[in-house]
Structure 1
Amino acid sequence: MFAVSAFPLDESPWIPVLWTPAVQAGSRDRPPLVGLRTLLARSHEISSLAITEPPAYSAFLRTLYAFTARVCALDEDDDGSGVDWSERRLNILDAGRLPADGIDAYFDAWAHRLCLFGERPWMQDPRLAEQCDPARSAGVNKLVPTRPSGNNHAWFTHVQDSDPDPVPAGEAAMSLLTWHYYGPSGRGSARTVGGTASANMKAGPLRGALSYHPEGSTLFETLLAGLLHPDPQVSRTTDRCMWEWEELPDPDAPPPPVQGPCSRLTAVSQHALLLIPAPDDENVVTDAFITWAYRDGRLPRDDPFLVWQISQQGNPYPRPADSRRALWRDIDALLLLEPGGTAQARHPEVFSAPHALEVSDALDRPLAVRALGFEQDGQAKDRQFVAGLTPPVLDRAEQTNPATAPAVGWLRRTGELYGRRVQYAVRRACQLYTHETRPKEADNWAERAAALYWPQAEEEFWSRFHGLDPTGALLVEAGLDRDAARRSFLRIAERAYASVTDPVCHTQRGARAVADAHSELYGGNRRPRS
């Protein structure tokens, strides 16, 4: 149906990158797009990926961790050399680049499975060409998350289902990954297997979740920091990536069990897709089939890059992506061994020893944390992309000085306290001003107060955070001045409150409403208990 070697992802330029300042200032070639081989071979010269859509960035990172584990022979605990896994990883870090022989060996062996189109197209199921009705394909508008399809609203582009624009192959590959990890439940293309047609899909493993990744100064450091230490029983012959399967799985059978880090990161999709290239141009995609991967059963949802917390019913669930929530508000759940709180948050597995922290120790500097996600419901509604990057914060400060743990937790809680208070205060002022229980304007006032408060509170948080003593010399809350920090957050709330309410203060009624509600910034007027 397609050329066997159509659009080879290992060689074709399709991955956008940002080069390090040294490379930008030098004479070396620095293309804006690279293939997988070049990406890994020059990862030490790349500062980060330049993928603009957070869910695609998050999904692609997971495949890169698997590629990195393979080319570095860090996909098994014991490689037979007598050197333990952690030391082998640190040896590669000391070498300053990923091993060229490992990169060549892997891509030479698997290049036939790394084509976007062909007999076994990458991360796709070619059987859909026969199992789905060609007259009822999904279309490229549904494939691309930022395009409207059917009756959905437009995000960044205005296109028509009747005459959709083709999608460049590289962009289609990123959309393919987004579907595998963040795709919705609901109805897709009808797929007929064993004489029975069905169109019901299950949600992707990262649907609606926020993903956290350790990040170094180069992509090379980032990839090594994101690797998971395999259990001793893990074998590369059974822990297969999706594109390494000998045979495609039976859609009528339960999903293949996860066997280790590589399958855990790349073979947990609940969706099956097939991209259709233009008849005369393998560099663009003109159609797609999108449907279910397994009729029954569900893969475990235990991703190592998510913050897991406990619902009121006692069930674990990943912290959802929220476009209104700044990344620093999750900082204690990311950094602290025991974050506390009613949600019983558990920080991402990758942030536990011996994972990212070993790389931070070896570099003798903290790593940053990149957050990537998609605010969306379980089915069709996609609301907003979510992304954030902390300063370098990921290290062993809590182990070195245990006093940092309560200090960080207190800073986060206090910043959130005054954020809640200022939003409640402006709502109360609006109620008093309009003499209505639920005035329509109250939501607008609260949103404006939040927009003013949270960015300034974030600056204050990081300023106080970096002032904490990580050495253990200051044993009392790592040197945190609680009174000064509290006053700073309060001043930010006061300024936000004044800015939102000032337009109504020119009337007596407005001035009185604003003055009466002002006390909510300090906790409100509390009636004494009888």
Structure 2
Amino acid sequence: MPGRSHNLIEEPLFPVRWRTGARPPGTAQLLPDRVGLRQLLLRSHDIASLAIAEPPAHSAVLRILYALTARVTGLDERGPGDWSERREEVVDDAQFDESGIDAYFGRWAERFFLFDEEGGRPWMQDARLAQQCDTGNTAGVNKLIVTRPAGQNHSWLFHASDRNPDRPTVSEAVLHLLVWHYYGPAGRCSSREVGGVKSASAKAGPLRAALSYHPEGDSLFQTLLAGLPQPDDTVRRGSDLCPWEWDELPDPDAAPPKPSGPCSRLTACSQHALLLVPDEDNPALVRDAFITWAYRTGLIPRDDPYLIWQISQQGNPYARPANSNRALWRDVDAVLGDAGGSTQARRPTVFRTAYEVSETLRVRALGFEQDRAQAKDTQFVDASTPPVLGRVEEDLPRTAAAVKRLRQLGELYGQRLDRAVRRAWALHVADAKADGSMWAGSAGARYWPLAEAEFWDRFRRLDRTPGALDIGLDVNDARQAFLRSAEQTYEAVTTTVTHTKRGAKAVSTARIELYGGRRQKPSAKSKETTA
């Protein structure tokens, strides 16, 4: 397809869920299930949320929208005046100013074409790949769509053939283009020749394997404003650029440009370069894709305001990884405040000011359980809390310890239950090396939903009345509640073997792990040390 096509500003590519009662202005038409970037911002107060099925794509689109929101509201710089007060004025307006949206998109309209053979600047792509990569050995659309098997991988949920692949829609291709930019793997990729030197090794994307936490309001308008990171005093919009605002594409042989502010940090940290190839016969489809490395040397600093940062045993900071087996309530204390502990968990910086937008904000966790060092993807992660961010700054000093204690108790009995069922299985089969993973998996599937319900029930009952001396947490009662859930789960999982003498003995013996295990008698040496 020659020329330009599919401008994302107007092209309806992004799935949305409308708020109840929303209607098209002045018409009786049905609301579209997809809209372009302009409508996403202009009608954000009528949109409940994005309706993107894949959590990493949802996370990626939110970051693009945060940057656009900062631009159209002028909140991309700290001044003039107080930044929080300026944002509060936008909140009071209850919708984004149309003139600001039109002014920004009017200036950059030429850079939002998905396919651009004329100007050579397709959105979030590198047109140079058509010459720098082997056109006879492209990545293909099965590689582009991360939910499909590619190459020699087995087909599990979707049958795919590299010889005759199902061509994705433009909407689907755009979302997975962004997934590659943020969550792409390190390692072998398509060969790219720059300066007479070929190489085929990419570095991991900035969000690979990480779990991303976002404040979520009653509308997309609230979500975007609450999710804006506050810029530093030194940030200037003229240097804090998004990729579509660059005068020239960066040199692949040079070190990647270091982000200078929130907009570049949100949109310009990709370690991959991509180029989509349109379908000549059907403009609604994508025929092929180039996927390769973006920078031969150097690494963009991994920093992001939506991640929980922890410290490893070696003293290195790392983002809390996405884990499909870990419920979101177990991260609530680290989201509301720095949780400390052995990992020195530090809450996402965006939550320091998010509460100013609304008292009914929830937390949405989006991620992709992956291996950061290898091209191995496991499962998407998508979870949401009830409203927890309202008046968080006032409540936090009083409730932080209680929330942390609740989380610790829930995890304590979950860990004890895991040890108990594993030991029961090992005793039952008379094999000390048996890991009992089948019983452990069944126990976890039963216990953690019970623990989550217990956590939120007690969380809601915490007394947040200003000046109250008692916050309303009975630690002993909470302990017994989590223990009862563990006991019930243990009984349910092990009951199948208790009809035999050996099975009943194994279950009875291992039950002590629920209560902390058998205490070790102090040795003579330890007695001497104590004395």
Higher mean C-alpha displacement, 172-181 vs 461-470 = 461-470
Q: 1:474-521 CA deviation, whole Å, 9 max, x = no partner?
A: 334x21011111111111111110110011111121111111111111
2:322, 2:369 within 8 Å by CA — same for their partners in 1?
Answer: yes
Q: Read off the aligned partner of 1:15 and give its amino acid letter.
A: F
Partner of residue 3, structure 1: 3
Aligned-pair distance for 1:403? 2.7
Matches of 2:320 and 2:153 in 1, distance apart?
Answer: 26
Distance 1:94 1:425, change over 3 A: same
CA drift of 1:233 comes to 2.4
Q: Does 1:525 align with 2:518?
A: yes
Which 10-residue stretch deviates more, 401-410 or 386-395? 401-410
Deviation at residue 367 of structure 1 after TM alignment:
1.0
Tell me which of 426, 432, 437 is aligned to 1:431.
426
Contact 2:355 2:392 in 1 (8 A): no
1:416 counterpart residue number: 411
Task: Give the equivalent residue in structure 2 for 1:341.
Answer: 341
The 2-side partners of 1:491 and 1:473 are apart by: 33
1:439 positional shift: 2.5
What does 1:274-293 align with in structure 2 at a 5 Å threshold?
A: 274-293=275-294
Is 1:382 the counterpart of 2:377 in the alignment? yes
Find the partner of 2:366 among 364, 372, 379: 372
Q: Matches of 1:77 and 1:403 in 2, distance apart?
A: 31
1:202 is the counterpart of 2:203: yes
**Which residue does the alignment assign to 2:19?**
20
Contact map agreement 2:340 2:346 (CA 8 A) in 1: no
Q: CA deviation at 1:357?
A: 2.1
Moved more, 227-236 or 108-117: 227-236
1:179 deviates by 0.2
Report the CA distance shift for 1:398/1:113 in structure 2 as closer, same or farther (over 3 A): closer
Q: Which amino acid aligns with 2:70?
A: A
Q: Conserved in 1, the CA contact under 8 Å of 2:336 and 2:396? A: no
For 1:121-174, what per-residue CA distance to the aligned partner results, in whole angstroms no more than 9, with x for missing partners? 100000000000100100000000000001223353111111111110011000
Q: Secondary structure at the match of 2:188?
A: strand
2:385 is aligned with what amino acid? T
The percent of aligned pairs where both chains have the same amino acid is 59
Q: Is 1:110 aligned to residue 108 of structure 2? A: yes
SS at 2:9 equivalent: coil
- Within the candidate set 451, 454, 461, 1:457 is matched to 451
CA distance in 1, matches of 2:434, 2:77: 61
The aligned counterpart of 2:526 is: none
Other-structure match for 2:527 = none
Displacement after TM superposition at 1:85 (Å): 1.8
Q: Which is worse superposed, 489-498 or 519-528? A: 519-528
Question: Which structure 2 residues correspond to residues 116-515 of structure 1 after superposition, within 5 A?
Answer: 116-118=114-116, 119-336=120-337, 338-352=338-352, 355-360=353-358, 365-377=359-371, 378-397=373-392, 399-400=394-395, 402-439=397-434, 442-476=436-470, 478-515=471-508
Within-5 A mapping of 1:39-78: 39-78=40-79
- What letter matches 2:520 in structure 1? R
Q: What one-letter code is carried by the residue in structure 2 that aligns with 1:380?
A: A
2:230 & 2:437 partners in 1: Cα distance?
47
Q: How far, CA to CA, are the matches of 2:91 and 2:154 in structure 1?
A: 46
Cα distance in structure 1, aligned partners of 2:126 and 2:73: 28
Change (3 A) 1:529 1:466: same
Deviations along 1:231-254, one digit per CA (max 9) or x if unpaired, are 222221111101111111111111
In the alignment, structure 2 segments of 5+ residues that lack a partner are 524-531
1: CA distance, partners of 2:262 / 2:232: 9
The alpha-carbon distance between structure 1 residues 450 and 36, as it changes in their structure 2 partners (threshold 3 A), is same
Contact 1:401 1:471 in 2 (8 A): no
Distance apart, 1:396 and its partner CA: 3.6
1:264-322 superposed Cα distances (whole Å, 9 cap, x missing partner): 10000000000001113332111000001111111110111100000000000000011
Aligned mates of 2:393, 2:71 — CA distance in 1:
32
CA contact (8 A) 2:143 2:150 kept: yes
Alignment-mate amino acid for residue 65 of structure 1: Y
Deviation at 1:433, TM superposition (A): 1.0
The number of equivalent residue pairs is: 517
The residue type equivalent to 1:89 in the other structure is R
CA RMSD, Structure 1 to Structure 2 (Å): 1.6
Q: Residue 401 of structure 1 contacts residue 472 of structure 1 at CA under 8 Å; is this kept in 2?
A: no
* Other structure's SS at 1:495 match: helix
The Cα of 1:112 is off from its aligned counterpart by: 1.0
Question: Where does residue 90 of structure 1 map in the other structure?
Answer: 88
Runs of 4+ with deviation above 2 angstroms: 24-29, 151-156, 395-403, 471-476, 527-530
The question of whether the paired residues in 1 share the 8 Å contact of 2:90 and 2:96 is answered with yes
Q: Secondary structure at the match of 1:135?
A: coil
In structure 1, runs of 5+ residues without a counterpart are none
Shift of 1:473: 3.8
Moved more, 18-27 or 140-149: 18-27
Shift in Å, 1:28: 6.1
Provide the secondary structure at the position in 1 that maps to 2:366: strand
Q: CA deviation at 1:108?
A: 1.4
- Supply the distance in 1 between the matched residues of 2:99 and 2:153 (Cα, whole angstroms): 48
* Alignment match of 1:516 (pick from 492, 509, 528): 509
**Secondary structure, aligned partner of 1:228:** coil
